[in-house]
């Protein structure tokens, strides 16, 4: 029997997983084990600290369910989600990716181009439009724009029993010009949920939980790489200090205030309203 020590335990674990058949899984797990062991040695982790980490993971599992994923939020608030986005972004260009966040739901209702999502929602009317194109600039017809955003109270529909199902979320197909357009309310800056383990962590780190106003998008089209991203209000007070590190300069846009009655009539909204334009570029596979 080998006498395990601080000096040889890492290699013993690496040896134990040598039968991992998938070469990529072996590479990832070996590196993870090496880094975790190095971390434990580096900080001289105490028994109490190890227990606190296990408790954090336990609580994260307990609070996670179909409409809330505290693991995703942990990854987001530690900058890991964004780091994965950044290292996997296309070096040849295209729209930058940003965090999925914990509030996406698959299968939102399909709506037509020009849909008005406002319904009974309070907030500042906003008309959003743009195109989906290839990196070469060709319009992509039939791309699916999947959008979700907060209501004026800073909550997503699936966080808030007072909002109707599918409120402020939808899917839309682009037309032959790759065009999409919808009318909504301006999303507001909001705090990520702080009533779970992530809230305790942010407190410990002396950080706030705010995210700048943003629209979440999933954009997909046959033969193209799926894009998950966010489009931010460049004037938001938290634009420089997003608690989940999702902001990229290329994803910030102005919310231009339009006061013309004629323009308001054209889009069927009350004046004044905000006008936002954003074009997506997808990598061809
Ligand atoms: Fe969000």
Cβ-proximal residues to 258 (8 Å cutoff; 6+ apart), any chain: 264, 271, 272, 273, 274, 275
In a domain, 72, yes or no: no
In a domain, 58, yes or no: no
What spacing in Å lies between the alpha carbon of 216 and ligand 1's midpoint?
6
Cβ-proximal residues to 227 (8 Å cutoff; 6+ apart), any chain: 94, 95, 97, 217, 218, 219, 220, 280, 282
What spacing in Å lies between the alpha carbon of 149 and ligand 1's midpoint?
6
In angstroms and rounded to an integer, the radius of gyration of the C-alpha atoms of the chain is 22
What spacing in Å lies between the alpha carbon of 101 and ligand 1's midpoint?
6
In a domain, 61, yes or no: no
Cβ-proximal residues to 93 (8 Å cutoff; 6+ apart), any chain: 135, 281
Q: From CA 101, how far away is CA 4, in angstroms rounded?
A: 41
Q: Is the pTM above the cut of 0.85?
A: yes
In a domain, 69, yes or no: no
Same domain as 189, residue 90: yes
Digit-by-digit pLDDT tens for the chain (285 residues) are 679 999 999 999 999 999 999 999 999 999 999 999 999 999 999 999 999 999 999 999 999 988 788 999 999 999 999 999 999 887 778 999 999 887 888 999 999 999 999 988 899 999 999 999 999 999 999 999 999 999 999 999 988 899 999 999 999 999 999 999 999 999 999 999 999 999 999 999 999 999 999 999 999 999 999 999 999 999 999 999 999 999 999 999 999 999 999 999 999 898 999 999 999 999 998
What spacing in Å lies between the alpha carbon of 41 and ligand 1's midpoint?
36
Same domain as 159, residue 28: no
Q: Which helix (H) or strand (E) holds 258?
A: strand 256-258
In a domain, 55, yes or no: no
Does residue 272 have a cis bond before it (omega within 30 degrees)? yes
What spacing in Å lies between the alpha carbon of 150 and ligand 1's midpoint?
7
What spacing in Å lies between the alpha carbon of 6 and ligand 1's midpoint?
43
Same domain as 96, residue 23: no
DSSP-assigned letter for residue 96: P
Same domain as 144, residue 17: no
Please give the C-alpha separations between residue 117 and each of 11, 101, 150, in angstroms, as whole numbers. 57, 21, 12
In a domain, 73, yes or no: no
Beta-bridge partners for 180: 130
Domain coverage including residue 7: 1-44
What spacing in Å lies between the alpha carbon of 265 and ligand 1's midpoint?
30
What spacing in Å lies between the alpha carbon of 98 and ligand 1's midpoint?
11
Q: From CA 228, how far away is CA 98, in angstroms rounded?
A: 6
Same domain as 27, residue 129: no
Q: Are strands 190-191 and 256-258 parallel, antiparallel or unpaired?
A: unpaired
What spacing in Å lies between the alpha carbon of 159 and ligand 1's midpoint?
12
């Amino acid at each position: 029997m080998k006498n395990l020590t601080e000096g040889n335990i890492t290699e013993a674990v690496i040896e134990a997983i040598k039968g991992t058949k998938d070469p990529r899984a072996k590479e990832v797990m070996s590196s993870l084990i090496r880094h975790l062991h190095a971390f434990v040695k580096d900080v001289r982790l105490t028994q109490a600290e190890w227990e606190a980490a296990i408790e954090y993971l336990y609580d994260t599992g307990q609070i996670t369910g179909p409409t809330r994923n505290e693991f995703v939020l942990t990854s987001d608030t530690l900058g890991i989600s964004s780091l994965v986005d950044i290292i996997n972004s296309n070096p040849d260009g295209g729209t930058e990716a940003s965090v999925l966040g914990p509030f996406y739901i698959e299968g939102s209702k399909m709506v037509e181009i020009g849909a008005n999502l406002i319904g009974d929602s309070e907030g500042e009317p906003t008309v959003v439009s743009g195109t989906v194109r290839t990196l070469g600039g060709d319009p992509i017809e039939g791309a699916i724009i999947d959008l979700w955003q907060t209501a004026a109270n800073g909550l997503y529909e699936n966080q808030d029993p007072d909002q109707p199902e599918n409120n402020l979320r939808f899917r839309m197909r682009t037309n032959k010009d790759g065009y999409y357009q919808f009318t909504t309310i301006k999303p507001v800056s909001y705090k990520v949920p702080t009533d779970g383990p992530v809230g305790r962590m942010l407190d410990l780190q002396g950080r706030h939980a705010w995210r700048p106003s943003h629209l979440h998008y999933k954009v997909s089209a046959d033969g193209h790489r799926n894009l998950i991203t966010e489009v931010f209000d460049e004037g938001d007070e938290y634009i420089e200090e997003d608690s989940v590190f999702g902001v990229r300069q290329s994803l910030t846009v102005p919310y231009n205030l339009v006061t013309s009655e004629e323009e308001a009539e054209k889009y069927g909204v009350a004046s004044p309203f905000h006008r936002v334009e954003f074009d997506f570029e997808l990598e061809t596979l």
